[in-house]
Amino acid sequence: MATIRAGMATDVGKVRRRNEDSALIGDCIFAVADGMGGHAAGDVASRIAVTALQRLDGVAGPGPLDIRDEIVQANADILAAAAADPTQGGMGTTAAGLCLGKVDGDECWIVFNVGDSRVYRFESGTLDQLTVDHVAPEAVTMRRGVITRALGTDPGPRPDLWVRTAEAGERFLVCSDGLSLELTDEEIAQVLGDCAEPQAAADELVRRAVLAGGRDNVTVVVVDNVEAH
């Protein structure tokens, strides 16, 4: 069974009035949700998303279908909350992360994404983005784009899911776009390579993103697979 260490950091940044990001470090589930809507309670939507995902900690050896089901439920919960409170109408959120689960009896990572929050894998100095941003094609060359999938929509979005074998020594980064907006992949990789402890890496990534401009909330979860046996 894999031995996992994780760290999390978040900051409102220099521009936003409140932090609409939410993060989750569970027993097997690690996620970031970036709320949208501003006055329309993006922070509420992101909290609902991570609350739904945290239920995966109660599932023995969760698989891709378990993750998909919780994402579907999170979408339904957000819609229900918006219907119950008109001030929350139109709220939504991204959701990205990874879950240590099982597929065909083998321990593996299940990576998931809805929106433009990201999951990266870092190993031996190389940073690879595992998720695909759900943004409008015409916005790909821009630093920010129009999100094409988000929780809080009807019909609900289709989450992307990937399965990876769990390997000792790998490090994962889950982040809101407040990080990738401010730091290049090279800058992110440098921090992940320099900071041995996941909490120190998370703190330093957020600190640098705020110093670089802090134009959005920035939230980071760093996950280390210390050993697998």
Residue 229 pLDDT grade (very low, low, confident, very high; cuts 50, 70, 90): very low
Closest C-alpha to 142, from 173, 90, 95, 177: 177
Question: CA 99, CA 71: separation in Å to the nearest integer?
Answer: 13
Residue range 21-49: mean pLDDT, rounded: 92
Closest-CA residue to 120 (of 190, 63, 171, 159): 171
Is 144 a residue whose pLDDT tops 80?
no
State the Cα angle at 95 between 90 and 96, rounded to 5°. 160
How far from chain centre, in Å, is Cα 68? Answer: 15
Supply the pLDDT for residue 175. 98
Say if residue 131's pLDDT is above 80: yes
**What are phi and psi for residue 80, nearest 5 degrees?**
-65, -40
Higher pLDDT, 73 or 86: 73
Helix (H) or strand (E) holding 23: strand 21-25
Q: Give the chain's mean pLDDT.
A: 93
Which sequence spans correspond to the domains of the chain? 3-227
Comparison of pLDDT for 180 and 143, the residue scoring more = 180
Provide the whole-model pTM.
0.94
Tell me: pLDDT of 25 over 50.
Answer: yes
pLDDT (mean) for 6-16: 97
Q: Give me the amino acid identity at 183.
A: L
Class of domain 3-227: alpha beta
Q: 198: which 2 tokens?
A: 């996941």
Q: Which pLDDT tens digit goes with each residue over 86-129? A: 889 899 999 999 999 999 989 999 999 999 999 999 999 999 99
State pLDDT tens for residues 186-216. 999 999 999 999 999 999 999 999 999 999 9
